[in-house]
Structure 1
Amino acid sequence: MAASEVTVGIILLSQTVVGVLGNSSLLLHYLVLYFTGCRVRHTDLILQHLIVANLLTLLCRGIPHTVAAFSVKYFLSDIGCKLLFTLHRIGRGVSICSTCLLSIFQALKISSGNSRWAEIKVKASKYIDSFVYLSWILCLLVNAIFPMYVSGNRSSTNFTSMKDFGYCSGVRHDTTTDSLFAALLSFPDAVGVGLMLWASSSMVLILHRHKQRMQHVHKTSSFRSSPESRATKTILLLVSTFVLFYSLSCIFQICLAVIYHPNRFLVSTATLVAGCFPAISPFLLMSRDANTSRLCLTWIRIGKTSDIMRNM
Structure 2
Amino acid sequence: MISKDIALGLFFLLQTGLGVLGNSFLLGLYTITLFIGPRLRPIDLLLVHLTFVNDLALLFKGIPKTMFTLGLKNFLDDVGCKLIFYFHKVSRDLSLCTTCLLSSFQAITLSPRNSWWAQLKAGAQKCMVPLCLFCWAFHLLKNVMILSFMRGPMKNKTITQQDFLYCSVPFPATLNLAMHILIVFLPDFLFIGIMMGTSGYMVFFLYRHHQRVQYIHGNILTPSVSPETRATQTILFLVILFVCFYSLNSIFILCIQNERSSWLVHISAFLAACFPAFSSFFLIVSDSHVYKNFLALLDKRILFG
Q: Secondary structure at the match of 1:122?
A: helix
**Separation in 1 of the partners of 2:255 and 2:281?**
30
Once residues 57 and 297 of structure 2 are traced to their aligned partners in structure 1, the CA distance between those partners, rounded to angstroms, is 32
Aligned twin of 2:143 = 143
Partner residue of 1:191?
190
Alignment match, 1:48: 48
Q: Relative to structure 2, which stretch is displaced further, 68-77 or 113-122?
A: 113-122
The answer on whether the counterparts of 2:56 and 2:88 sit within 8 Å (CA) in structure 1 is: yes
Residues 35-184 of structure 1: pairs in structure 2 closer than 5 A = 35-114=35-114, 116-155=116-155, 158-162=156-160, 163-173=162-172, 175=174, 177-183=175-181, 184=183
Give the secondary structure class of the aligned counterpart of 1:72.
coil
Q: CA RMSD in A?
A: 2.2
Tell me how far 1:296 sits from its aligned partner.
4.7
Does the 8 Å CA contact 1:103/1:199 hold for their aligned counterparts? yes
Deviation at 1:299, TM superposition (A): 9.3
Mind listing any 5+ residue stretches in structure 2 that lack a counterpart?
Answer: none
Does residue 33 (structure 1) correspond to residue 11 (structure 2)? The answer is no
Deviation at 1:114, TM superposition (A): 1.9
* SS in structure 2 of the partner of residue 22 of structure 1: helix
Tell me how far 1:215 sits from its aligned partner: 1.1
Contact 2:153–2:165 (CA<8 Å) still a contact in 1? no
| 8 Å Cα contact 1:53/1:91 also seen in 2 | yes
Q: Tell me if the contact between 2:38 and 2:296 (Cα under 8 Å) persists in the aligned partners.
A: yes
Structure 1 contact 74–166 (Cα < 8 Å) conserved: no
Letter in 2 for 1:134: F
- Kept in 2: contact 1:151–1:169 (CA 8 A): yes
Partners in 1 of 2:222 and 2:117 — Cα distance?
24
Matching residue of 1:231: 231
- TM-score, length-scaled by structure 1: 0.88
Show the 5 A alignment for 1:257-276.
257-259=257-259, 262-276=260-274
Q: Which runs of 5+ in 1 are unaligned?
A: 302-312
Query: How far apart, CA to CA, are the structure 1 residues paired with 2:187 and 2:164?
Result: 24
- One-letter amino acid of the structure 2 residue matched with residue 165 of structure 1: F
Matched with 1:286 is 284
Alpha carbons of 1:292 and 1:2: their partners in 2 closer, same or farther (altered >3 Å)? closer
Structure label with greater radius of gyration: 1
Q: What SS class does the counterpart of residue 191 from structure 2 fall into?
A: helix
Question: What letter is aligned with 2:124?
Answer: A
Percent of aligned positions that are identical:
41
Partners in 1 of 2:299 and 2:61 — Cα distance? 41
Alpha-carbon distance change, 11 to 299 in structure 1, aligned in 2, over 3 angstroms: closer
Q: Would the aligned equivalents of 2:153 and 2:168 in 1 still touch at CA under 8 Å? A: yes
